[in-house]
Amino acid sequence: MGAAMTETPPPAPLRLFNSLTRQLEDFEPVHAGEARVYSCGPTVYNYPHIGNMRAYVFADTLGRTLSFKGYKLTHVINITDVGHLTDDADAGEDKLEKAAAERAQSIWDIARHYTEAYWADVKALNIRQPAHWSIATDYVPAMIEFAKAIADKHCYELESGLYFDTTSVAGYGRLARHSTDEGESRIDPVDGKRHPADFAIWRKTPAGEKRQMEWDSPWGRGAPGWHLECSVMSEALLGFPFDIHTGGIDHREIHHPNEIAQNQAHSCSNDSGARLWMHNNFLVDRSGKMSKSSGEFLRVQLLIDKGYHPLAYRLMCLQAHYRSELEFSWEGLGAALTRLKRLVMAAASVREVERAPVTDRRLSGLLARFDAAMSDDLNTPVALTLIEDAAALKKIDAGQKRAALEAMDKVLGLEVLALSRADLRIRPKVAAVTEVEIEAALTRRKEARAAKDFAASDALRDELLAAGVEVMDGDPLGWDWRLEN
């Protein structure tokens, strides 16, 4: 169903790994021809790190693939601006309240600032805008209604809030695969909880305290639980059930099992609320899972400041299958940048060409294999090699080649037909010299060499080196020069 395929075998059936069944399953939409996807979004108490952004590169790749396969996509990503505690189980403080108290700032300003920072990263990584960014605080009345509907049969009230009784629904925790009490050691006990895994769907503001974000409810003034938000927003915007729910693999353990329990309670059925639950694995570094709680962390902006184009990071993510762990290193990022640059250079000759329907068998064969790879649970590592093969084809109709590259890149989102070599040049923010100055010095050096004035040419080269610029004569990738990091 890729737009450019004319003379190809029938499109491959889309198969995706369902964390609920731990199996690959055929994608069968709830509504014919449509795909409705909900992705758990960021908690906006701090900047996202590049590990968090891996979750959205994955969700975006899924969305792009569903569009490529011809489905009308409705994607929702939420913004969690209330309710997410410092501990995924029920202890700790609200992450946003804590950040606001530490910095003596308004919680609303904090939420706005970090939401905008997140959106900047979304843009830098060429993640498509979803149909809706749902903001949790906009849905508090709907959350109270949802909680009211399930309170009698499934919840009990304690001094600290309204708790969900996880034994009141069938098969609690089947997503996480924990036997009923395996979670016990991980979950901080709250006085009076009937079972360790029970969780708050409404947290009351303790007597004598005032929170910046609080609302009236039948269970007193307070704030909604994080798990409640996603159940409510996904149903409000996508209906019940919808097709695919995504998140990082940590959500498979607590957040998503709790959403599922609420969904079962609210629908008076065993329906988890989504046909497929999909989880990306972690980005790790040598010390383990990248996390904000561990102090120093990497942001997309840091990659840019060090001179790396952000789409090199996107390519780095695509080099790994989303269900595999991916280890970050600067060398790896450098290699991904070089790979992106080679691809951009190979595509350059067809950049200005009008696209033509693909009839060439080599191209249509590659497109069919590309379709098969993406349809095989988003096999991006293989898909990347296929776009490279298409870009490398020689003696081929330029318009057709353009059409094929465009169709593939629409799924991978690397902008290989829009980027130029120069866009990808390493440009650290700390550089003491401007590009105009470098180019001017290089022009003078070229003139000196043409005049066989090698002393002048060498002097210019040394001058540039002193300014941190390495001249790269005869570099096969045509970088010409590089700024030292």
Ligand X SMILES: Nc1ncnc2c1ncn2[C@@H]1O[C@H](COP(=O)(O)OP(=O)(O)OP(=O)(O)O)[C@@H](O)[C@H]1O
Instruction: Give the residue numbers of the binding site.
Output: 40, 230, 255, 259, 292
Answer for the pair 247, 230: CB distance below 8 angstroms, yes or no: no
Which one of residues 130, 161, 247, 273 is an interface residue with ligand X (CB under 6 A)?
A: 247
- The smaller minimum CB distance to Zn ion, of residues 183 and 248, is found at 248
230 binds, among Zn ion, ligand X, none (CB under 5 to 8 A by kind): Zn ion
Quote the least distance from Cβ 254 to Zn ion, whole Å. Answer: 11
The annotated binding site for Zn(2+) is made up of: 40, 230, 255, 259
Answer for the pair 229, 78: CB distance below 8 angstroms, yes or no: yes
If binding is defined by CB under 6 A, does position 55 make contact with ligand X? yes
Q: What is the number of the residue whose Cβ is closest to ligand X?
A: 248
Q: On the CB side of 398, how many CA atoms lie within 13 Å of its CA? A: 10
Q: How far apart are CA 272 and CA 250, in angstroms?
A: 18
Residues 6 or more apart in contact with residue 78 via CB below 8 angstroms: 38, 39, 40, 41, 133, 134, 135, 136, 229, 230, 233
Q: How far apart are CA 83 and CA 279, in angstroms?
A: 22
Quote the least distance from Cβ 255 to Zn ion, whole Å. Answer: 6
If binding is defined by CB under 6 A, does position 299 make contact with ligand X? no
Q: How far apart are CA 419 and CA 427, in angstroms?
A: 15
Secondary structure element (H or E) that encloses residue 223, with its range = strand 222-224
Instruction: Give 234: exposed, middle or buried? Use CB within 10 Å, 0-12, 13-18, 19+.
Output: buried
52 binds, among ligand X, Zn ion, none (CB under 5 to 8 A by kind): ligand X
Tell me the β-bridge partners of 15: 26, 376
448 binds, among Zn ion, ligand X, none (CB under 5 to 8 A by kind): none
Q: Which residue has the tokens 């064969």?
A: 365
Which one of residues 136, 197, 283, 373 is an interface residue with ligand X (CB under 6 A)?
A: 283
Which one of residues 66, 244, 290, 405 is an interface residue with ligand X (CB under 6 A)?
A: 290
Q: In 3-state terms, what secondary structure has residue 123?
A: helix
If binding is defined by CB under 6 A, does position 82 make contact with ligand X? no
- The smaller minimum CB distance to Zn ion, of residues 230 and 390, is found at 230
Our measurement of the distance from residue 227's CA atom to the centroid of its chain's CA atoms, rounded to an integer in Å, reads 20
If binding is defined by CB under 6 A, does position 52 make contact with ligand X? yes
Q: Interacting stretch for ligand X, rule CB under 6 A, among 43-51, 198-206, 227-235, 387-395?
A: 43-51
- The smaller minimum CB distance to ligand X, of residues 169 and 283, is found at 283
If binding is defined by CB under 6 A, does position 248 make contact with ligand X? yes
If binding is defined by CB under 6 A, does position 40 make contact with ligand X? yes
If binding is defined by CB under 5 A, does position 230 make contact with Zn ion? yes
Q: Interacting stretch for ligand X, rule CB under 6 A, among 35-43, 63-71, 198-206, 231-239?
A: 35-43
Query: What are the percentages of helix, strand and coil residues in the chain, rounded to 5?
Result: 45, 15, 40
42 binds, among ligand X, Zn ion, none (CB under 5 to 8 A by kind): ligand X
Q: In 3-state terms, what secondary structure has residue 81?
A: coil
Quote the least distance from Cβ 135 to ligand X, whole Å. Answer: 14
Applying the rule CB under 6 A, the residues between 385 and 414 that interact with ligand X are: none
Please state, in angstroms and as integers, the Cα–Cα distance from residue 403 to each residue in 43, 307, 351, 360, following that order.
39, 31, 10, 11
Which one of residues 37, 40, 318, 407 is an interface residue with Zn ion (CB under 5 A)?
A: 40
Q: How far apart are CA 260 and CA 362, in angstroms?
A: 46
Answer for the pair 146, 266: CB distance below 8 angstroms, yes or no: yes
375 binds, among Zn ion, ligand X, none (CB under 5 to 8 A by kind): none
Quote the least distance from Cβ 313 to ligand X, whole Å. Answer: 12
Structure token digits, residue 93: 């403080």
Number of Cβ within a 10 Å radius of residue 362: 16
If binding is defined by CB under 5 A, does position 37 make contact with Zn ion? no
Contact residues for ligand X (CB under 6 A)? 40, 42-43, 49, 51-52, 54-55, 247-248, 250-251, 280, 282-283, 289-293
Contact residues for Zn ion (CB under 5 A)? 40, 230
